[in-house]
Copies of this chain bind each other. A is one copy, B any other.
Amino acid sequence: MSSNSFGQLFRVTTWGESHGAAIGCVIDGVPPLIPISEPEIQEYLDKRRPGQSRFTTQRREPDAVRIVSGVFEGVTTGTPISLIIDNVDQRSKDYSEIKDKFRPGHADYTYWKKYGIRDYRGGGRSSARETAMRVAAGAVARKVLGDAVSIRGALVQVGDSAVDRSKWDWDEVPRNPFWCPDADTASGWEKLLDKVRKAGSSTGAVIEVTASGVQAGLGAPVYGKLDADIAAAMMSINAVKGIEIGAGFAAAGLSGEDNADEMRIDNSGNVRFLSNAAGGVLGGISTGQDIVIRFAVKPTSSILAPRKTVTTDGRETEISTKGRHDPCVGIRAVPVGEAMLACVLADHLLRHRAQCG
């Protein structure tokens, strides 16, 4: 058991605080002889890297990853892969404002209640900086899954503004700073988030991630359900408050007739589903259809407007967070959500192979 590890057979352990010397992860259980290089991991880290537009935090972290073990002559050896990213933008800063005050809606308070101590510099272990290692691990997970599996994410809602699904275009996703699949909605978000940003405020969002090419049979009864592990994976991402699969919460309003994904045989003799209310998972096991999940991210608690709070020594006060923060943390959550889905699928691929050969 480890609270800082994720997965059973494709097992990722992360470490590091936002303002320590470095952050890192150890990935155990990776099959041998898989080609993997730093640039292949860096590609995904670059998608998550802050400061790429005015809509994400202006911290300058190059997030350059180093493979320190587990890869020899360009391929995995089956031994633990250690990945390390040095923290370079730890600018000297005055933390006196937050050192003794709790930010409402932040983990400040709960860490302090649990441990009696917290690393107040930049959130310490609770910082979203930790998600960089998830993205790095996700890049390795994709290699384990192979080219047949494709995992793509998109931002589908910012504040109250949701994408128009009839205009969904995956090619549009990398063209705008929001990973938005609908160009028109992206324009609207630009205006919306400029307003939020200038006000020193923040807003929530919804992310959708899809995995295509996943074989039927991954996942397991009863507590090892693929969607149970996906739910934990997504809920473990900073700021996530909800997760759904397929029809999700809308399934509550469906009839049994509408929810049943009818089945036919296609020309190749394979099973074909006529719909995907299940989101690719039935009874916790993949159906072979696309796995489609969504998760909701709350607005960051680091805002300019003063909020009522208390101090570590029990006095009432107010707090206002200045500095470099994301008006919508949901944007950078897109590559993180993709990475977590990749990790869960890689884990279940190995688990399935163990039991079912």
Contacts and interface: CB of A to CB of B under 8 A. Distances in A.
Interface string A233-248: 1111010011111111
A260 B350 CA distance: 35
What is the total number of copies of this protein in its complex?
4
Contacts of A82: 15-16, 22, 24
A198 interface: no
A271 to B, nearest CB: 6
B224 A4 contact: yes
Nearest to A340: B223
A83 to B, nearest CB: 10
A130 interface: yes
Interface in A242-257: 242-257
A310 to B, nearest CB: 5
A165 interface: no
Given A2-B29, A242-B248, A260-B104, A15 B125 contact: no
A117 interface: yes
A62 to B, nearest CB: 18
18 contacts: A2-B28, A3-B220, A4-B28, A4-B223, A9-B354, A72-B124, A111-B221, A114-B356, A125-B221, A196-B255, A201-B256, A204-B251, A228-B233, A231-B231, A243-B243, A251-B297, A252-B296, A256-B303
